[in-house]
Structure 1
Amino acid sequence: MTDIHASRPAPSGLGSGVQGHGLHLRLWDPESATDVEAWLRGHTDPDFTRWNTPLRTITDRVSARASMDAKAADVAAGRAMTFCVTDAEEGTVLGQVSVNAIDHLMSCAIVGYWVLPEARGRHVAVRSLLLASRWAFTEVGLHRLDLGHALGHEASCRVAERCGFRYEGTARGAMWEANRRDAFRDVHRHGRLTTDPEPEAP
């Protein structure tokens, strides 16, 4: 099994990040033009917006950076960890995987992910979610991770299942409709416990 190196989340950052499965998970850099551009493209990609409606509207580099700054504040406060997923050898940005709404009292969090169009078809979402899940279980010490995706998003459902997140039911009206904040759609709920076996990476 691939070795993974990680450090416990702290306001000062993540050190060298998390590595394994041919990927490097690191913090996003709001000061990096490359990171801002990748964040913007990821959040405005038609396939992303079909299935997700971010809390903050992202339309240009200014709003992208504002969104990145907000996420960085959550990371600094220990509320979340938003990883920039890059190729381990070349450092090319491939997408994002995040551990959100970290609740240390209940020992749980919510995970999410997206992949840039040019990086799809390479199991980036599966490999990065496996890495982030192991980080959350071993470094943060969480007991449970929750994952939800819009009903009908079969690609995300396959990622969840390949990463050991069992389907646990459908939540009615638990997510905004695409590009709406006044209408809702159903969500497939998946969950994984620290006691569940970790699947092998593709």
Structure 2
Amino acid sequence: MTDSYVSRSGRPFPELHGYGLSLRAWDAEAEADVEAWLRGCSDPEFKRWNTPLKALDDRDGARESLRARAKAAAEGAAASFRVTDPESGATLGHIGVNDIDHVIRVARVGYWVLPEARGRQVATRALAVAGRWAFDGLGLHRLELGHALGHDASCRIAERCGFLYEGTLRGAMFEAGQQDAFRDVHLHARLATDGEPAVL
């Protein structure tokens, strides 16, 4: 783990603020966090575009999933943020900086938003905050963002945050709800040297 990866509080990564959002660590021991994680990962819209290796069907599975993410954060391999309203503390969604490679300084980002928070540019704002931290706080050079072909909303979010479309990856992710069929992925990326986008 690099020194820049640990916040002053000793936590694996800091709390982030910006664009009217707070990004906080998920807590696998907090029932509200477990419930929000389960709702997000079992939401029909999430399942339409994502097929996790292990489906989350109950609180025990959600808790284990969050514990695995906390372990990855402690090892410097990923950072998972609970996207919240800074005033109420309500969970709005999730954004992760995943598969962090500290050698070639690249990582992949992914996000989802709870149904009641959609239509408020939550994912766009969260991506802008997390992306800036990944470049400035982690010293990464490149962030990649992949989404299933046809996921136009995710495409717009990526482009709004300065993640340029770089091409289509053939058969690069599972079809919805299947692990024996594949679909194409749009690859977007942003470099630390790219200009700052006008997010909002």
- Structure 1, residues 91-113: CA drift from partner, whole Å, max 9, x if none? 11000001000001111000000
Q: What SS does structure 1 have at the residue aligned with 2:69?
A: helix
Partner of 1:10 in structure 2? 6
Indicate whether 1:27 and 2:25 are aligned.
Answer: yes
Q: What SS does structure 2 have at the residue aligned with 1:140?
A: coil
Q: What SS does structure 2 have at the residue aligned with 1:57?
A: coil
Give 5+ residue unaligned stretches, structure 1. Answer: 1-6
The amino acid across from 2:68 in the alignment is A
Partner of 1:80 in structure 2? 78
State whether residues 17 and 25 of structure 1, in contact with CA within 8 Å, keep that contact through their aligned partners in structure 2. Answer: yes
Partner of residue 140 from structure 2, selected from 122, 139, 142: 142
Aligned length: 196
State whether residues 95 and 115 of structure 1, in contact with CA within 8 Å, keep that contact through their aligned partners in structure 2. Answer: yes
TM-score of the superposed pair, with normalisation by structure 2: 0.94
State whether residues 13 and 73 of structure 2, in contact with CA within 8 Å, keep that contact through their aligned partners in structure 1. Answer: no
TM-score of the superposed pair, with normalisation by structure 1: 0.93
Q: After the TM superposition, list the runs of 4 or more consecutive aligned residues in structure 1 that deviate by more than 4 angstroms.
A: none
Give the Cα separation in 2 of the matches to 1:197 and 1:152. Answer: 27
The amino acid across from 1:53 in the alignment is T
Q: What SS does structure 2 have at the residue aligned with 1:195?
A: coil
Give 5+ residue unaligned stretches, structure 2. Answer: none
The amino acid across from 1:164 in the alignment is G
Partner of residue 67 from structure 1, selected from 57, 62, 65: 65
Partner of 1:55 in structure 2? 53
